Structure 1
Amino acid sequence: MSIENIRQFIKEKAEQFGAKTDNEFNKPYVERNNTGQEALKDNGAYFGFIHPEEEASGPFHDFSLTIFPNDQNKPWLVCLGIGSSGFKNDYELATYPGLRRLFSKLTDERGFCKSDFSDIETSLPKSITGNLDLQHIKNTIKTYTKVLPTCQIVDDPESEEGKKLIAAFVAGYAKLRDWPSNKDHRKAVSEALEPFLKSETVDEAEEVKNLLNERKYIVLQGPPGTGKTRTAKSVADKIGAKTFFTQFHAETSFSDFIFGIRPDTENQELRYRENLGSFSEALKYAVDHSNEKVILIIDEINRANLSNVLGPIFYLFEHKMDVSTVEIEIAPNFKVKQLPENFSVIATMNTADRSLAVVDFALRRRFAWYTLKPKAIKSKQFFNEDFSRIQEIFDWYASSTELNLQPGQGYFIADTEEEMKNRIRYEIFPLIKEYLQEGLLRNAKEEFNNYFSIRINLSLFE
């Protein structure tokens, strides 16, 4: 296996990804090449790219693209590394969740990805340091064990699969260094990463339907615009169920959902009449029509005080309840020991609404939780470029919790360019501005501002 061939390969890829090597005063990287015969005897042989402000020899700082080769036709190790001098310019970059997210997708069971890329104190695990496939470079790995946040074994770097993986690591480094400056560069980076970032196309309604058959009571959770309510209704249609619908809010009470009394406004004298809540109506129908499937959809389940709304029926939400001797009174002359087999509940929960009540662990145990994430859809009305740009910013800068705030695909459906601009101006822009005002997604503020300034000529900081 030729080291020179792979050196040339990664330099060609770097240029495809936007690294302009003909600019003498603004170099995109400094190349390191320590692959002499003595070094190749498991004595620290490596080559790759380091930060453009570093020297061509000696200790260096910050992130590097590092490849540990050998001349014995044995596996190589491809890594994102950190100079042994630690961080100088890249510490903030190391804290961006998207960096780890990206490289974790480039590694498999024969690789490793740290949970914290700013960590230069923790050594590589034994799955790498003690790996039998890497014994020929074990001393080299030991030397750099604390400064390799992610790495992947490559059996044959000159094979199609080997080059595909190396190209993906170069593309990841290109994103890290912000090399792409035009559409061709960005397209080349995307094409190199695509085989590793592909996610399976999932029929969410079908998955939810299968989960409902197994668990009976489920919550569809996700950011706004991800189609939670639409999916719930679609599942009910697929099953052919009789559907009951209710939406919770801050004032929803036990009497609204289960049973209460209300003034009879049709009489001149003050009288009260019994009122079956939406749950009781659905349950009663299920009991009376045991041959029909019945689904109760509860929209925005966490907008209400659930302890007050559910009351004693909380006990009934056990999808595999044994025969119970406890009778729960739903309404006068209406008691049940357990919920009937033909009765199911689909609830929805907006994960972006930070003002909502936290769902307690006891209730969580009684429901299955299915997350709907923002995703591109095939439609002439779907503005994929805007969706992809917002998704890219979230993916790079958002923490795991902040990912729950990403606007879903529903925000990016419009009939005309003008309508889409209005959606950005009057829906997405105010939403992102509110997030930033609450101290969320701070690292992404300039990226968002740049997007809005170019797209709708508005600044977040006016």
Structure 2
Amino acid sequence: MSIENIRQFIKEKAEEFGAKMDSEFNKSYVERNNTGQEPLKDNGAYFGFIHPEEEVSGPFHDFSLTIFPNDQNKPWLVCLGIGSSGFKNDYELATYPGLRRLFSNLTNERGFCKTDFSDIETSLPKSITGNPSLQHIKNTIKTYTKVLPTCQIVNDPESEEGKEVIAAFVAGYAKLRDWPTNKDHRKAVTVALEPFLKTEINDKAEEVESLLMERKYIVLQGPPGTGKTRTAKGVADNINAMTFFTQFHAETSYSDFIFGLRPDTANEKLRYRGYLGSFSEALKHAVEHSSKKVVLIIDEINRANLSNVLGPIFYLFEHKMDVSNVEIEISPNFKVKKLPNNFFVIATMNSADRSLAVVDFALRRRFAWYPMTPKIINGQNKKLENVSVNKVPNEEFFFKEDFAVIEEIFNWYASSTELNLQPGEGYFIAKNETEMLNRIRYEIFPLIKEYLQEGLLRNAKEEFNNYFSTRINLSLFE
């Protein structure tokens, strides 16, 4: 395996991704190359890129693209490293969740990715330091064990698979250093990373349906605009079920959901009548029509006080309850020991609403929880007033470039919790450019501004502001 061939390969990839080496004062990286016969013999060989402000030799700071090679036809180790002098310019960058998110996609079971890229105190795990296939560079690994936040074993760097991994690490470093300056650079980076990035399936209805058949009671949770309610209705229709629908709110009570008394306004004299709630109506229909599937959709399930609303029926939500000697009274003359096999519940929960009650663990155990994340809508590509869009039903369009910009900002800057705030794909569907601009101006812009005012996504404020200033000529800070 030729070290010089791979050195040349990564330099060509760096240039393809936007790296500049025009002069001493305009360069994107400093190359380090310590691959002479002595370093190779002593297991200390390495080459790669470091920050352009660093020297060509000696200790250095900040993130590096580092490759530990050998000339024995044995595996190499491709790494994102940190200089032995620690952080100088890159500490804030190391704290961005998106950096770890990106490189975690580039590693598999033969690699490693730290949970905290700013950590230069924790050593590599034994899966790397004690790996039998890396014993030929064990001294090198031992030397740098605390400053390698992520690494990947590459069996043959000159194979197609090996070059694919190395190119992806160079692309990751290019994003880290912000090398791409035009569309061609960005496309080249995307192409290099694409084989490693996890892609969401476009239509999750089939998966949700399968989960519903298995677990019977499920919750679709995710940010607004991800199609939770639409998916619930679609699944119910697809299994040819009788559908009952209710939406919870802060004042939803046991009498609304199960059974209650209400004034009979049709009579001159005041009297009260019993009324079945939405749950009881659906359940009664399921009991009386045992050959027909019945689905109760509970929209915004976490907007109500669930302990008060569910009362004793909480006990019934056991999807594997075969036999029960406990009879629960649903209403006068209506008691059940278990929910019938043809009765299903699909609930939805808005994960972006921070003001709502936390769902307790007992309820979580009784329901299956399916995440609904923002996803690109695939379809017919079409240009609409110079905006790249995908066609969706009813002559509406999915504005994928706007979606992609917002998604990239969230992926790079948002914590795991803040990812639940990303506007779903429904925000980016419009009939034309004018309607899309209005959606950005009057829906997405106020939403992001509110997040920032609440202290969320602070590191992303300039990225968001640049997007809105460019797209709708509005600043978040005026």
Who is 1:283 aligned against?
Answer: 283
Distance in structure 1 (CA, Å) of the matches to 2:58 and 2:297? 65
Q: What TM-score does the superposition give when structure 1 sets the normalisation length? A: 0.99
Contact 2:81 2:150 in 1 (8 A): yes
Name the amino acid aligned to 1:437: Q
Who is 2:407 aligned against?
Answer: 391
1:416-453 deviation digits (Å, cap 9, x = unpaired): 11111110000000000011111111111111011111
Who is 2:245 aligned against?
Answer: 245
The 5-angstrom pairing of residues 114-193 of structure 1 reads 114-193=114-193
Who is 1:34 aligned against?
Answer: 34
Name the amino acid aligned to 2:219: V
Distance in structure 1 (CA, Å) of the matches to 2:345 and 2:256? 17
Distance in structure 2 (CA, Å) of the matches to 1:387 and 1:356? 27
Who is 1:416 aligned against?
Answer: 432
Distance in structure 2 (CA, Å) of the matches to 1:421 and 1:211? 37
Q: How many angstroms does 1:267 deviate by?
A: 1.9
Distance in structure 2 (CA, Å) of the matches to 1:73 and 1:43? 14
* Count of residue pairs the alignment pairs up: 462
Q: How many angstroms does 1:263 deviate by?
A: 1.0
Who is 2:421 aligned against?
Answer: 405
Distance in structure 2 (CA, Å) of the matches to 1:436 and 1:69? 45
Q: What is the DSSP-based 3-state SS (H/G/I as helix, E as strand, rest coil) of the residue aligned with 1:357?
A: coil
Who is 1:103 aligned against?
Answer: 103
Distance in structure 2 (CA, Å) of the matches to 1:45 and 1:15? 24
1:395-431 deviation digits (Å, cap 9, x = unpaired): 0000111100000000000111111111000000000
Q: How many angstroms does 1:334 deviate by?
A: 0.7
Who is 1:345 aligned against?
Answer: 345
Q: What is the DSSP-based 3-state SS (H/G/I as helix, E as strand, rest coil) of the residue aligned with 1:143?
A: helix
Distance in structure 1 (CA, Å) of the matches to 2:477 and 2:120? 36
Name the amino acid aligned to 2:430: A
Name the amino acid aligned to 2:306: L
Q: How many angstroms does 1:264 deviate by?
A: 1.3
Q: What is the DSSP-based 3-state SS (H/G/I as helix, E as strand, rest coil) of the residue aligned with 1:40?
A: helix
1:350-384 deviation digits (Å, cap 9, x = unpaired): 00000111000000000000011100002420000
Q: How many angstroms does 1:43 deviate by?
A: 3.7
Name the amino acid aligned to 1:299: D
Name the amino acid aligned to 1:48: G
Contact 1:263 1:273 in 2 (8 A): yes
Distance in structure 1 (CA, Å) of the matches to 2:123 and 2:136? 19
The 5-angstrom pairing of residues 267-282 of structure 1 reads 267-282=267-282
Name the amino acid aligned to 2:424: G
Identify the range of structure 1 (20-29 vs 154-163) with the bigger mean alpha-carbon deviation.
20-29
Q: What is the DSSP-based 3-state SS (H/G/I as helix, E as strand, rest coil) of the residue aligned with 2:439?
A: helix
The 5-angstrom pairing of residues 224-239 of structure 1 reads 224-239=224-239
Who is 1:292 aligned against?
Answer: 292
The 5-angstrom pairing of residues 319-330 of structure 1 reads 319-330=319-330
Contact 1:42 1:136 in 2 (8 A): no
Q: How many angstroms does 1:56 deviate by?
A: 0.8
Distance in structure 2 (CA, Å) of the matches to 1:310 and 1:95? 42
Q: Specify which of 436, 440, 452 is matched with residue 456 of structure 2.
A: 440
Contact 2:16 2:185 in 1 (8 A): yes
Who is 1:260 aligned against?
Answer: 260
Who is 1:304 aligned against?
Answer: 304
Q: What is the DSSP-based 3-state SS (H/G/I as helix, E as strand, rest coil) of the residue aligned with 2:121?
A: coil
Name the amino acid aligned to 1:392: E
Who is 1:216 aligned against?
Answer: 216
Indicate yes or no: 2:358 matched with 1:358.
yes
- Runs of 5+ consecutive residues of structure 2 not aligned to the other structure: 379-389, 392-396
Name the amino acid aligned to 1:460: L
Q: What is the DSSP-based 3-state SS (H/G/I as helix, E as strand, rest coil) of the residue aligned with 2:476?
A: coil
Distance in structure 2 (CA, Å) of the matches to 1:92 and 1:38? 37
Name the amino acid aligned to 2:410: F
Name the amino acid aligned to 2:356: L
Name the amino acid aligned to 1:150: T
1:250-273 deviation digits (Å, cap 9, x = unpaired): 110111000001111122221111
Q: How many angstroms does 1:198 deviate by?
A: 4.3
Q: What is the DSSP-based 3-state SS (H/G/I as helix, E as strand, rest coil) of the residue aligned with 2:201?
A: coil
Distance in structure 1 (CA, Å) of the matches to 2:424 and 2:99? 22
Contact 2:200 2:375 in 1 (8 A): no
Contact 2:202 2:376 in 1 (8 A): no
Q: How many angstroms does 1:159 deviate by?
A: 1.2
Distance in structure 2 (CA, Å) of the matches to 1:424 and 1:23? 42
Q: How many angstroms does 1:69 deviate by?
A: 0.6
Indicate yes or no: 2:438 matched with 1:457.
no
Who is 1:375 aligned against?
Answer: 375
Q: CA 1:200/1:421 → structure 2, altered by over 3 Å: closer, same or farther?
A: closer
Identify the range of structure 1 (133-142 vs 192-201) with the bigger mean alpha-carbon deviation.
192-201
Distance in structure 2 (CA, Å) of the matches to 1:213 and 1:401? 29
Q: What is the DSSP-based 3-state SS (H/G/I as helix, E as strand, rest coil) of the residue aligned with 1:260?
A: strand
Contact 2:40 2:70 in 1 (8 A): yes
Distance in structure 1 (CA, Å) of the matches to 2:168 and 2:466? 27
1:281-316 deviation digits (Å, cap 9, x = unpaired): 000111111111101000000000101100111011
Distance in structure 1 (CA, Å) of the matches to 2:460 and 2:181? 19
Percent identity over the alignment is 86
Contact 1:42 1:138 in 2 (8 A): no
1:118-150 deviation digits (Å, cap 9, x = unpaired): 111111111111111111111011100000000
Distance in structure 2 (CA, Å) of the matches to 1:126 and 1:368? 35
Distance in structure 2 (CA, Å) of the matches to 1:3 and 1:290? 70
Who is 2:44 aligned against?
Answer: 44
Contact 1:242 1:295 in 2 (8 A): yes
Identify the range of structure 1 (365-374 vs 16-25) with the bigger mean alpha-carbon deviation.
16-25
Identify the range of structure 1 (121-130 vs 191-200) with the bigger mean alpha-carbon deviation.
191-200
Structure 1 vs Structure 2 CA RMSD:
0.9
Contact 2:202 2:375 in 1 (8 A): no
Distance in structure 2 (CA, Å) of the matches to 1:42 and 1:449? 51
Q: Specify which of 442, 447, 450 is matched with residue 426 of structure 1.
A: 442
